[in-house]
Amino acid sequence: MPEQTNSQETPEPDDSASSAGGSSVSGAGEPAQGDGARGRHAGPEEVAGDDADAKKQKKTNWPLEVAVVVLVALVLTFCLQTFVGRQWYVPSESMEPTLIGCAGCTGDRIVTQKISYFTGDPQPGDVIVFKGPTSSWDVEGRPSVRSSNTVLRGIQEALSYVGLQPPDENDLVKRVVAVGGQTIQCRPETGVTVNGKKLNEPYIADTAKEFAANQDACWGKPFGPVTVPEGNVFAMGDNRMFSADSRYHIEDRLQGTIPKADIRGKVVAIIYPFDRWQTVKAINPQQG
């Protein structure tokens, strides 16, 4: 609706009042000028009272204002973490040299986005963060990020929903090498193939390349053939010699594949350390 503006009509002058008092009558909204000492002007006491009321009201409302700001910030954070993306920490060397992470060093902090997977599916070459879909992915001795105190644990769980605490789950980062409907396998004489075609993987760590060329193209772990179910992916680490990826879970009920529902996002950038800031590109190993 168009904005409406309230207006006041100027009252017609009262002839009788003019002749009786000899004072003029101003238009509406202006103070009356006349014979009264006070007229319609506010006295010092009234002004002081108004200031005191305003200060009191402001003092009374500030907790509400703070609560509203905090609530809005939490809602925005929740929406960003749920529908846009979030940041993660890389703790191991399984994705080197693409992503750096090792005991005693400064691991990369990465950012994922989810928007691509709301409207489409993961593609070969995507670097993804996902939750281990079956118990076979659980890391023995993985420390919980939750407190043993019931109250604190409840607070941490609540904060995890808005991204202020990490989820207490086994999250991993790997590269998609095969998607739904494709058949993947590895043989020492052929290396990794998808639908019978050898993969072209320039992102693999140099040590893994040398080992594959000189000793074993499967890095000691022949597998398959595995036909990836529709809606799932088969993922492997770029540092093949030090990555417990889909190859190591062939015997579970999903044959090492990862359902789309367990994918937390697509890695798009390294944001820390600052000297490693860069985007993370999806390099399709099935091309070239």
pLDDT in tens, 202-244: 999 998 888 888 788 999 889 999 999 999 999 999 999 999 9
Higher pLDDT, 21 or 42: 42
Contact present, 247 and 175 (Cβ < 8 Å): no
Distance from C-alpha of 205 to C-alpha of 212, rounded to nearest angstrom: 11
Q: How many residues does the chain have?
A: 288
* Catalytic sites, residue numbers: 94, 174
pTM of this structure: 0.71
For residue 213, being part of any structural domain is answered with: yes
Given CA atoms 17, 22, 26, 31 in this order, what sign does their dihedral have? negative
Q: Label the pairing between strands 278-279 and 127-131.
A: unpaired
Domain residues for the domain of 154 are 113-136+149-267
Q: With bands split at pLDDT 50, 70 and 90, how would you rate the model's confidence at 27?
A: very low
For residue 22, being part of any structural domain is answered with: no
For residue 119, being part of any structural domain is answered with: yes
For residue 261, being part of any structural domain is answered with: yes
- The region, left, alpha or beta by phi > 0 then psi within -120 to 50, assigned to residue 126 is beta
For residue 199, being part of any structural domain is answered with: yes
For residue 12, being part of any structural domain is answered with: no
Q: How many domains does the chain have?
A: 1
For residue 164, being part of any structural domain is answered with: yes
For residue 141, being part of any structural domain is answered with: no
CATH no. for residue 121?
A: 2.10.109.10
